[in-house]
Amino acid sequence: MKSIIVLRHTPTCPLGSVADVLAEAGLTYQYVDLFSEIPKRLPLADSSGLVVLGGPMSANDTLAHPFLRPELTWIQEAVDAQVPTLGVCLGAQLLAKALGEKVYPNRVKEIGWYEIEVLPPAAEDRLFAASGARETVFQWHGDTFDLPAGAVRLARSELCLNQAFRFGPLAYGLQFHVEMTPPLLTEWLDEPELHSQMGDHADPRAIRADASQRFPAMQFLSRRLLTRFAALCRQHQ
C-alpha cells in the first residue's frame, strides 16, 4: 500500500488531528523530517499524497534552512503529477511559492482564534462543500502570499486575503492550522520559542480561555476537510 509523505520542518509542528483522520481512513504515512536530514529525492511516484506542515521559519529563509529549496521542487513535482497535496500554514505559503508566487509579511500577525469567510466557489469544492459562510479556525502566522495564477480562492479573512485555495484538482493550501488539537495547543503556548513570537500580537491566557468554546466548531470543520482529503489520497492508491 502506498503511504502519504509528510514534510515536517520542526518537531513542534506534527500532524496533530491529521494523523487520527488518516488512521481512520486506513491510510499510512511517513514523516520526512527536513530539520534532521535532507533526502536526495522523495518517492512521490510511490505515494498516495503529500502533506506539507507548518513551521516558525519563512518560506523565503532558504539560507538559514537549505531544505526549503529542494522542498519547493518536490511540491511542484507533486502538483504536476497530480498527487493529492495539502499545505498547512507554512505549507500553504510554500505551495504558493512553488507555483511561482511571492511570500511576504502579512500586514498583521494572526495568532489565536479567528473567523474566516468561506467564498462562493467553495460550494462546488470537494473539500469545502457544505461549509458554513463563516467558520472558526486557529491561526499562527506572520506571512502571507499572492494567489497563484489559475488557483481558486476558497476562503479569506478580514486580516488576510488568502486563507484557503485550490490549485488544479488536487492541491490545497490552508493558511490556518487545520491540524490543531487541545494537547498541541497547550504545547505551543508552553513552548518558550513559540511563546516569544507572540509579542503583543496575542494573549495566551485569552487563547486558552476561548479554547473550550472554539475547538468544537473548528474540529467539525477540520474533520470534514481532512476526511475528504483522505478520500482523495485513497483514490490515489
**Per-domain residue ranges of the chain:** 3-235
pLDDT of residue 199: 66
Contact 49, 217 (CB under 8 A): no
- Find the distance separating the first CA and the last CA of the chain, reported in whole Å: 7
Rounded distance between C-alpha atoms, residue 75 and residue 72, angstroms: 5
pLDDT score for 176: 98
pLDDT at 194: 63
Pairing of strands 103-118, 85-88: unpaired
Q: In whole angstroms, give the CA distance from residue 157 to residue 135.
A: 10
Q: How do residues 120-139 score in pLDDT, each as one tens digit?
A: 999 999 999 999 999 999 99
Q: What is the pLDDT of residues 165-211, one digit of tens each?
A: 999 999 999 999 999 999 999 999 987 766 666 666 778 889 999 99
pTM as predicted? 0.96
State how far the Cα of 26 lies from the Cα of 44, in Å rounded to an integer: 19
Domain 3-235 has CATH 3.40.50.880: yes
CA 14 to chain centre: 11
Query: Left if phi > 0, otherwise alpha if psi is -120 to 50, otherwise beta: which for 16?
Result: left
| Alpha-carbon dihedral angle through residues 73, 79, 84, 89, given to the nearest 10 degrees | 60
What count of residues does the chain have? 237
pLDDT reported for residue 202? 79
H-assigned helices in 35-146:
68-80, 90-98
Output the pLDDT for position 203.
Answer: 87
For residue 191, the model assigns a pLDDT of 79
Residues of the chain where predicted confidence (pLDDT) is lower than 70: 193-200
